[in-house]
Amino acid sequence: MIRIQKTSIALVLLFAAFGLALGGCDRLSNVMGAIYFESGNDYYKEGEYDRAIEHYSKALKYDPSHADALINKGNAWYKKGNPKKAIANYTRAIKINPHIKLPYFNRANVLVNIGQYDRAVEDYTMVISIEPGDEGAYLGRGKALSLSGEYDQALQDYNSLLEINPDLAGAYIGRGNCYWHKGSLDQAVKEYRTALDIRPDHTEAYVNLGSVWLHLGDLDQAIHNYTKALEIDPTLSEAYIGRASTYRYKGDYERSIADYTEAIKIDSKNAEAYWLRGITQSKIKKNGSAIADYNRAIKLKPEDARLYSSRGYAYMETEKYDRAIADFIKAQKLNPELFLPYNNHAWLLATCPEDEFRDGRKALKLAQKSVELNSNWYTFGTLAAAYAEVGDFKPAVKYQKKALSLLDGENSKRLFDKDEKIERSKKYLNHYKENKPWRMNYN
């Protein structure tokens, strides 16, 4: 949350009268700066951020030392989606007066949102040194530490905060997030429920509970909690996305697509919603619609490797193999640690029905890389297909059996079509036992 600095208009007018009576130019400049600062605040409250920036700039022209104008100008730039200029203005305000907490706090919040967690922690720490009981700074620092993987340090902040205010729901949510990432899911659920005992309308607690239940495979509980969040706030895009993903795991693709669409209506620049809706479209073989969604997502987040990997898979299913390969290679370059682009690329090269696109040796290398990054039933199945393509059927049978074993252990609540996948995997295995490689049929 960005905080705005305020000035009383009555105080401004008092200063104006005093300044004019004395006839001092410096004092008059300060008064004019205060007047433009106040009008900038009015424009800011109305959401007219360009006009607000214009008036804050005029305030600074009259009074270059007006730290509050710099803070609020930074806020306006942030609202306009320019974190770089927001940070620059907060930094100028700090240079003018390093003993006020607000520019540190606002700069820290922006730094968290752009992923610069270490710098954010430093700024929150400065706020706490200026005002040791600042709850927002403890919450912010805990969040920044948690996002950077420092869960134990984050828990210390949340615990300290609860000593100050034991009824702060946000601190319990923060602790719940830490426990979730540490693998203590039961404790995470307890923390979120405690937050709801304090604030029954806390949508973040409901959304996080939904996410935990989704992770655990209790899809009905997940849907219940996402729905509770939406009953409180129907504009909560993350709740629609969470519920949509849950419906997708249940195989209810129609409801899933409807919820992703609602999320997009709320936030048309949400690349995640387009991407996930595309995945759902692919599930029901609407690959043209899926590719259109992936294209929108890529336009919004052109450096996200997952988007190219998913679009490549859709191209593969529509037999546009050259485009699929190009997308898989692009994804590998963008994120060399993501297993799916290697896996999907290997599957295409090993199983493509068109001879010109198959390359068993290359498929094997890509499949081995994929298993190295993430050993699961999916990657072992692709490794088996690659061995079959090069005519080495003994390891093909071995790794397909490994894939079947891992698939059998999957949580069927999160894999609604588990039986279908097992039957298909058995078909692959029988082919390899008969010394025959697999060929996909995308018709």
Number of domains in the chain: 1
Rg (C-alpha) for the chain, rounded Å, is 28
CA dihedral sign of residues 430, 434, 439, 441 = negative
Q: Which amino acid is at 378?
A: Y
439 domain-assigned: yes
Is residue 421, in this structure, part of any structural domain at all?
yes
Which structural domain range is residue 405 located in?
337-443
Q: Is residue 443 part of a domain?
A: yes
pLDDT at 25: 52
C-alpha pair distances (Å), 168 with each of 137, 202, 253, 314, 335: 13, 11, 38, 46, 39
Q: What is the pLDDT of residue 7?
A: 54
Q: Which residues contact 430 (CB under 8 A, 6 or more apart)?
A: none
Is 369 within a domain?
A: yes
Residue 40 lies in a domain: no
Amino acid at 366: L
The helix (run of H) or strand (run of E) holding residue 306 is helix 305-317
Q: Where are the alpha helices (DSSP H) in 182-304?
A: 185-198, 203-216, 219-232, 237-250, 253-266, 271-283, 287-300
> Is 344 part of any domain?
yes
Q: Residue 435 domain-assigned?
A: yes
Q: What is the predicted pLDDT for the residue at 15? A: 41
Give the CATH number for residue 351.
1.25.40
Please choose, from the candidates 298, 354, 355, 366, the residue with its C-alpha nearest in 3D space to the C-alpha of residue 329: 366
- How many Å apart are CA 91 and CA 5, to the nearest integer? 15
CB 142 within 8 A of CB 174: yes
List the one residue out of 300, 374, 299 whose CA is nearest residue 335: 374
CA proximity to 314, closest of 322, 304, 306, 324: 324
Residue 376 lies in a domain: yes
pTM for the predicted model, two decimal places: 0.82
Per-10-residue mean pLDDT of the chain, 443 residues long, equals 57 42 56 86 93 93 91 94 95 95 96 95 96 93 95 95 94 96 95 97 97 93 98 98 96 97 96 98 95 98 97 97 98 97 98 96 98 96 98 97 91 72 94 96 74
